[in-house]
Amino acid sequence: MALSMETSLPLSAVVQARSSLSADAAPRHLDPRVSLAVLVMINVQMALSQSLFAEMGVLALTVAAMAYCRRFSAIVRWLAFYALFAVTAQLLVASGSTLLSPFAASLLMYRHVLPAFMFAFNMIATTRLGELACALQAIRVPANVSVAVCVAFRFLPTMGREFSAVADAMKTRGIALTPKSVVCHPAKTAEHFLVPVIARLGQVADELGNAVVVRGVGASAHRTSYYRLMICAVDVACLIAAMALLALSACFRAGVL
């Protein structure tokens, strides 16, 4: 009976139900072309103005983009880092110590550029490599630049795993990567950590570059793509907000506001 009831359903209804479920479960993300444009404007804005108001605007825009992409746990982690930098820098400034002032300035700089890193890592986490390649081809980026961007885009998420692998290898050889070892034996620790990391990262970058070239990213002919890019209302709103923040930072830099 159950089998007969299941087979009696129309095939079109089953296909429509499955497509609706897959559409609901699919991760949301901004258009790669919009993400690249917004990332460029955010970096220009960070260089133009040191205004806390403009910085808060970039932070709000980044959090809104991450919330649209449903990356709520990442929002909590990044905001915790931001609050840690901000509170620590203010405590160092309030101490009035001249020895701690360079550390306070460094933390303030990290806090200022952290929203740009947030937006960049959100783009990396939500954009597929094929979508990025399609976007670069759509905006007429040269082939050599496209290859370099695609390799960097694919390479960045692997850095954490490579660092962890080297640290584990150091533990097996009795060289633990701890704050004590860094302070007591800085040269030895740097030698045992940085040399394998640089060698391994160079090997991974070479492998990724070959893989990207084999996929035809550097071909002179027009490449077809599995992905179809479409700019929606959220992309337009994000682009307008970034342009408004950039104009605001330019006004702060010019002394208009």
Task: State residue 16's pLDDT score.
Answer: 47
Task: State residue 118's pLDDT score.
Answer: 92
Task: State residue 5's pLDDT score.
Answer: 40
pLDDT, one tens digit per residue, over 39-73 is 999 999 888 888 888 889 999 999 999 999 999 99
Residue 17, pLDDT > 50, answer no
- Cα→Cα distances 196→46, 169, 199, Å: 34, 10, 5
- Cβ neighbourhood burial of 44 (10 Å; 0-12, 13-18, 19+): middle
Lowest-pLDDT choice from 71-80, 124-133, 211-220, 244-253? 211-220
pLDDT over 70, % of the chain = 77
Q: For residues 54 and 138, what is the distance between their CA atoms, to the nearest angstrom? A: 31
Q: For residues 219 and 40, what is the distance between their CA atoms, to the nearest angstrom? A: 26
Q: Which residue has the higher pLDDT, 189 or 122?
A: 122
Q: For residues 103 and 180, what is the distance between their CA atoms, to the nearest angstrom? A: 20
How confident is residue 15, by pLDDT bands cut at 50, 70 and 90? very low
Task: State residue 119's pLDDT score.
Answer: 93
Question: pTM for the full model?
Answer: 0.71
Q: Are 88 and 110 in contact (CB under 8 A)?
A: no
pLDDT over 90, % of the chain = 20
Provide the phi-psi class of 232: left if phi over 0, else alpha when psi is between -120 and 50, else beta: beta
Task: State residue 25's pLDDT score.
Answer: 42
- Cα→Cα distances 165→57, 158, 161, 171, Å: 38, 11, 6, 10
Which residues are within 8 A (CB) of 128 and not within 5 positions of it... i.e. 6 or more apart? 227
Hunting for tokens 């740009």 — which residue is that? Answer: 116
Q: For residues 163 and 156, what is the distance between their CA atoms, to the nearest angstrom? A: 12
Residue 13, pLDDT > 50, answer no
Q: Which residue has the higher pLDDT, 249 or 18?
A: 249
Task: State residue 235's pLDDT score.
Answer: 93
Mean residue pLDDT of the chain comes to 78
Residue 37, pLDDT > 80, answer yes
Burial letters 208-223, b for 16+ CB under 10 A, else e: bbeebeeeebbeeeee
Task: State residue 11's pLDDT score.
Answer: 42
Contacts 24+ apart (CB under 8 A), 61-68: 61/115, 61/119, 61/238, 61/241, 61/242, 61/245, 62/115, 62/118, 62/119, 62/122, 63/118, 64/238, 65/30, 65/38, 65/119, 65/122, 65/238, 66/118, 66/122, 68/28, 68/30, 68/234
Which residues are within 8 A (CB) of 121 and not within 5 positions of it... i.e. 6 or more apart? 74
Q: Domain boundaries in the chain?
A: 28-128+227-257
Task: State residue 181's pLDDT score.
Answer: 67
Task: State residue 214's pLDDT score.
Answer: 72
Task: State residue 1's pLDDT score.
Answer: 40
Task: State residue 140's pLDDT score.
Answer: 82
* Structure tokens belonging to residue 127: 């954009």
Q: Which residue has the higher pLDDT, 225 or 108?
A: 108
DSSP string across 61-106: HHHHHHHHTT-HHHHHHHHHHHHHHHHHHHHHHHHT-TTTHHHHHH
Lowest-pLDDT choice from 68-77, 136-145, 230-239? 136-145
Lowest-pLDDT choice from 85-89, 105-109, 190-194? 190-194
